[in-house]
Amino acid sequence: MKRFATVCLSIFLLSMSLTASAQTTVIKAGHLVDVEAGMATSNQMILVVDGVITEIGKNLKIPAEAEVIDLSDSYVMPGLIDSHTHVTMTEMPGADINDFGSYYYTGLIETTAFRAIQGVTQARSLLETGFTYIRDVGNNALYADIEVRRAIDGGWIPGPNMIVSGRLISPFGGQFQMQPEKPGLGNPEYFYADNPTELRKAIRENIHYGATVIKIIVDNQPYIYSVEDIAAAVDEAGRVGLKVAAHAYSPEAIHNAVLAGVASIEHGNNPTDETLALMKEKGTYLVGTDFPASRSSQAAFERILERNRRAYAAGTPMAFGSDVVYSRPDWTRGELTLEFLESFTEAGIPNDYILRMFTMNAADLLGVDTGQIKVGLAADMIAFEDNPLQDVTALRAVHFVMKDGTVYKQDGQFKWETPRNMNNPRRKTKRSVLKPRTGN
Ligand SMILES: [Zn+2]
């Protein structure tokens, strides 16, 4: 009883201190971009209390304790979301990209520790460029992604919020050709699972270690996952409210994954028109991960544009995903990620839809409360000078970034101070994103 009273008292004091230190900010937005409506309204004020948007309007009363941020000469829109990142994979140079060589070697040679350190820099770069949420979908050695997320959530390093997959689940061999004396070289990068029972076991293990999305590789081997295999994965993940992202290139693999009820098709290079229509019907997202022209042959880039035109015309829901694992001299990971805009502009997709792919569509796919500037959603916002509804490349000049109400970039300068109260964050799956399915 005494112990109970002590607990109650500390909860009371904790809530008091939270109330006392409520962080209140007012943003004066010269132009507020409503991505859902595809329009901008002028001279809006946005009230943010403890990381959440609580009021929006032309003439808000500014609370006495509020910090006022003047963005009256800027366009303000929701923070960007990349639905397909690999922050803990940076390919080693020297091998031919077309045979996946460099990324195979990277998995073989680099340690989890070094890859987690690389993830720290890549995550910071994405935040600095305007990405406030990412979904990291595997290639993390042995759960480096989960430790990067833990460090960000615990305040040790700056970075976007992260949905993470843990290890990639694939049929025997992963994405590569093994040789029979060393069949396990794909491990731990890939978790081999060849039937519904093995898939369920792999998913439970990933969830145990902290995965908040499940990523399966449907078709990098001659044996592809069947509808039955994938449906078992969707069922097992769904038991704790997680979604399944399916890496699929071929028409058959894409079709199997859509029929089985995955949340998204990753890559999805060759969908039939019939499957694109089915994706519209079932609300399955296409996360195209289209290489920009600088990374493709002209013919390959044309095929990407053609697929994007078909998907847009079919009404298939689309969310932005980059899949950047490469580097280029003088470019940050964040800058490389925004190079992909041309895959959509050159396909003739309207600017307002492109903005939705980078914000509310991706938030819907991730299942997170952000992606729009609306009362009740997380205060994830970016700002830049030009109108993105007229020219989406305006996104490449983000000078202001707020994530969960905290400012990380202002007047073009990244803001980060070493925290003064470092504690060791718990290693635990964030329950807040796990909403168990009810009914079965
Ligand atoms: Zn990928």
Per-residue pLDDT band for 108 (boundaries 50, 70, 90) equals: confident
1 assigned to some structural domain: no
Please tell me whether residues 66 and 205 are part of one structural domain: no
Mean pLDDT computed over 128-155? 96
Please tell me whether residues 68 and 198 are part of one structural domain: no
Please tell me whether residues 88 and 175 are part of one structural domain: yes
- Ligand 1 centroid to 166 CA: how many Å? 13
Per-residue pLDDT tens digits for 5-16: 444 444 444 444
* Bigger pLDDT: 293 vs 249: 249
Q: Which residue has the tokens 């008091």?
A: 16
Query: Is the separation of the CB atoms in 91 and 326 below 8 Å?
Result: yes
- Ligand 1 centroid to 25 CA: how many Å? 37
- Ligand 1 centroid to 4 CA: how many Å? 48
- Ligand 1 centroid to 325 CA: how many Å? 8
- Ligand 1 centroid to 99 CA: how many Å? 15
- Ligand 1 centroid to 423 CA: how many Å? 33
14 assigned to some structural domain: no
Please tell me whether residues 48 and 166 are part of one structural domain: no
Cβ within 8 Å of residue 163, ≥6 positions away: 133, 134, 135, 136, 212, 213, 366, 368, 433
Name the residue range of residue 112's domain.
80-366
Omega of the bond prior to 317 within 30 degrees of 0, cis? Answer: no
CATH of the domain at 384: 2.30.40.10
For residues 416 and 83, give the distance between their C-alpha atoms in angstroms, rounded to a whole number: 25
- Ligand 1 centroid to 205 CA: how many Å? 21
Burial class (CB in 10 A: 0-12, 13-18, 19+), 6: exposed
- Ligand 1 centroid to 321 CA: how many Å? 9
For residues 184 and 172, give the distance between their C-alpha atoms in angstroms, rounded to a whole number: 9
Query: Is the separation of the CB atoms in 88 and 118 below 8 Å?
Result: yes
344 assigned to some structural domain: yes
- Ligand 1 centroid to 265 CA: how many Å? 11
Amino acid (one-letter) located at 338? L
Domain stop point among 304, 338, 366: 366
Q: Say what the pLDDT of residue 256 is.
A: 98
* Bigger pLDDT: 103 vs 377: 377
Q: Say what the pLDDT of residue 12 is.
A: 44
Mean pLDDT computed over 124-140? 98
Per-residue pLDDT band for 96 (boundaries 50, 70, 90) equals: low
- Ligand 1 centroid to 54 CA: how many Å? 36
Please tell me whether residues 199 and 70 are part of one structural domain: no
- Ligand 1 centroid to 208 CA: how many Å? 22
Per-residue pLDDT tens digits for 17-44: 444 568 999 999 999 999 999 999 999 9
Instruction: Give the number of other Cβ atoms within 10 Å of residue 200's Cβ.
Output: 17
- Ligand 1 centroid to 117 CA: how many Å? 19
Q: Three-class SS string for 344-410?
A: HHCCCCCHHHHHHHHCHHHHHHHCCCCCCCCCCCECCEEEECCCCCCCHHHHHHCCEEEECCEEEEE
Q: Say what the pLDDT of residue 419 is.
A: 85
Please tell me whether residues 192 and 44 are part of one structural domain: no
326 assigned to some structural domain: yes
Per-residue pLDDT tens digits for 312-352: 999 999 999 999 998 899 999 999 999 999 999 999 999 99
CA distances from 102 to 93, 98, 108 (A): 6, 9, 10
Per-residue pLDDT band for 439 (boundaries 50, 70, 90) equals: very low
- Ligand 1 centroid to 200 CA: how many Å? 22
Domain stop point among 366, 393, 428: 366
Burial class (CB in 10 A: 0-12, 13-18, 19+), 387: middle
10 assigned to some structural domain: no
Name the DSSP letter for residue 166: -
Per-residue pLDDT tens digits for 172-211: 999 988 999 999 999 999 999 999 999 999 999 999 999 9
For residues 434 and 203, give the distance between their C-alpha atoms in angstroms, rounded to a whole number: 14
Cβ within 8 Å of residue 255, ≥6 positions away: 271, 272, 274, 275, 278
430 assigned to some structural domain: no
Q: Percent of the chain, pLDDT > 90?
A: 82
- Ligand 1 centroid to 216 CA: how many Å? 11
State how beta strands 406-410 and 413-414 pair.
antiparallel
Cβ within 8 Å of residue 305, ≥6 positions away: 343, 346, 347
Mean pLDDT computed over 275-300? 92
Please tell me whether residues 29 and 118 are part of one structural domain: no
For residues 145 and 155, give the distance between their C-alpha atoms in angstroms, rounded to a whole number: 16
Please tell me whether residues 216 and 287 are part of one structural domain: yes
Amino acid (one-letter) located at 432? S
Domain stop point among 299, 332, 366: 366
Please tell me whether residues 291 and 352 are part of one structural domain: yes
Please tell me whether residues 199 and 169 are part of one structural domain: yes
Please tell me whether residues 318 and 170 are part of one structural domain: yes
- Ligand 1 centroid to 406 CA: how many Å? 29
Burial class (CB in 10 A: 0-12, 13-18, 19+), 97: middle
307 assigned to some structural domain: yes
- Ligand 1 centroid to 84 CA: how many Å? 6
State how beta strands 214-217 and 244-248 pair.
parallel
Per-residue pLDDT band for 290 (boundaries 50, 70, 90) equals: confident
Please tell me whether residues 52 and 115 are part of one structural domain: no
Q: At what angle do helices 273-282 and 298-314 cross, to 10 degrees?
A: 50
- Ligand 1 centroid to 183 CA: how many Å? 22
Counting the structural domains of the chain, the total is 2
Query: Is the separation of the CB atoms in 77 and 389 below 8 Å?
Result: no
For residues 365 and 285, give the distance between their C-alpha atoms in angstroms, rounded to a whole number: 7
For residues 149 and 51, give the distance between their C-alpha atoms in angstroms, rounded to a whole number: 18
- Ligand 1 centroid to 34 CA: how many Å? 30
- Ligand 1 centroid to 137 CA: how many Å? 6
211 assigned to some structural domain: yes
CATH of the domain at 200: 3.20.20.140
Q: Say what the pLDDT of residue 11 is.
A: 45
- Ligand 1 centroid to 102 CA: how many Å? 14
Q: Say what the pLDDT of residue 95 is.
A: 57
Amino acid (one-letter) located at 61? K
Query: Is the separation of the CB atoms in 56 and 27 below 8 Å?
Result: no
